[in-house]
Amino acid sequence: MIKIFETFGGYNEIHRLEKGCWINVTAPTHEEIERLTSDFKLPDDIVTDILDQDERSRVEFDDDWSLIIIRIPIKNQKDGVPFLTVPLGIYITEDFTLTLCLQDNEVLPTEKISHFRQHYREITDVFNFTLRLFLVSGNIYLKYLKQINRMTASIEQDLEKSIKNRELNQLLKMEKCLVYFITSIKGNEITLARLRNSKKITTEINEDLLEDAFIENKQALEMAQIYSDIQSGMMDAFASVISNNLNVVMKQLTLISIILMIPTLIVSTFGMNVPNFMETAQWAMPAILGVAVILSVFGVLLFRKRHWF
């Protein structure tokens, strides 16, 4: 989807290019990609790089344009991994600024009201607009990290009684999310530092906005690393818990088998086709069953006294 706005705030949508406009492109179709290269004159390699899901964060300057790529978090509905990161490209020229992302996201949503409308007066130029993207991206990282923490807590409760690997697989997918987040946030932090020290930026940068962006990214990175360390230790601990739970189940089944063997042994012994002193006794059947029950109860009491049951 391609939307063209008169300003960075996303207030007024227009239908043709104007000097200083902002173009937001999300999940482009094949026809829209062709329009990017033909109408907006984006180089093919830049479009390919931004639409590559594994593209790293970076800054690139040219005589006629500048390119900033950051990695942003998105929700994922495939493979059981709840969150992933994708590149968001900011292509800057003298005539317009274009943002491009291969999937819909919360940093620059296509249908919802833009995050930037309430801060419209603070966005003075494209680089402060880019800093705002870093700031919003950091906030969304923190939001998703809290959701990951809640999901992990829910999985922990199931793991305490589990004897299967399903919960461990879920924890592994949570760990994958954290690895994606840590790698992406580190790349964003390096990119943000390069922007701050770049001599290509001649406009005045909002220092408060820059500081906020650094703080949010650093906080998101620290939280992701803490959660990752906790989950690594948790997976090792719960792997032992699952093994112990399985041993407990096997022990209980073994004890039940032993208890059931007692009446089976007695009844089998007196049921053999050989002479014994109770062939004609009327009390033989109740006596044999009584002995079997008494010995079975004695076995249960013995196991309970030893805390095996």
Per-residue pLDDT of the chain (309 residues; tens, 9 = 90+): 888 888 776 667 788 888 888 888 988 899 988 888 888 888 888 899 999 988 999 998 888 888 999 999 999 878 778 899 999 999 988 888 899 998 888 888 766 655 555 554 546 678 888 888 898 899 999 999 999 988 888 877 776 665 566 777 788 888 889 999 999 999 999 998 888 887 766 666 777 888 888 899 999 999 999 988 888 777 777 767 777 777 888 888 888 888 888 888 888 877 777 777 777 777 778 888 888 888 888 888 888 887 776
Q: Among candidates 30, 46, 32, which has minimal Cα distance to 4?
A: 32
135 in Cβ contact with 127 (< 8 Å): no
Edge-to-edge strands of the sheet including 96-101? 13-14, 2-5, 21-26, 96-101, 83-92, 66-75, 58-61
Burial class for 70, CB neighbours closer than 10 Å (0-12, 13-18, 19+) = buried
Of the candidates 195, 183, 205, the residue with the CA atom closest to the CA atom of residue 71: 183
How far is Cα 96 from Cα 22, in angstroms, rounded to an integer?
Answer: 6
User: Alpha-carbon distance 221 to 145, whole Å?
Assistant: 10
pLDDT at 9: 67
2-244: which CATH architecture?
A: 2-Layer Sandwich (3.30)
- Looking at residue 141, what is its pLDDT? 93
CB–CB of 262/292 below 8 Å? yes
Place of tokens 């495939």: 78
Instruction: For residues 181 and 74, give the distance between their C-alpha atoms in angstroms, rounded to a whole number.
Output: 10
pLDDT of residue 118: 53
What token pair was written down for 230?
């906790």
In the block, tokens 């939307």 appear at: 3
Strands 58-61 and 83-92: unpaired
Q: Which residues make beta-bridge pairs with 217?
A: none
For residue 264, the model assigns a pLDDT of 85
DSSP state of 6: S
123 closest CA partner among 59, 195, 205: 205
The one-letter code for the residue type at 275 is P
Handedness of CA 236, 241, 247, 249 (dihedral sign): negative
pLDDT of residue 182: 93
Tell the CATH topology of 245-305: Methane Monooxygenase Hydroxylase; Chain G, domain 1 (1.20.58)
Q: What is the pTM of this model?
A: 0.76
Domain with CATH 3.30.460.20 in the chain: 2-244
- Do 213 and 192 contact (CB within 8 A), yes or no? yes
Cβ burial of 136 (10 Å; 0-12, 13-18, 19+) is buried
- Determine the pLDDT at residue 255: 86
Where are the CATH 1.20.58 domain residues in the chain? 245-305
Residue 120's pLDDT is what?
A: 46
What is the DSSP annotation of 108-156? Answer: S-SSSPPTTGGGGGG--SHHHHHHHHHHHHHHHHHHHHHHHHHHHHHHH
Query: Which of 22, 97, 34 has the alpha carbon at shortest distance from 14?
Result: 22
* Phi, psi (rounded to 5 degrees) for 54: -100, 10
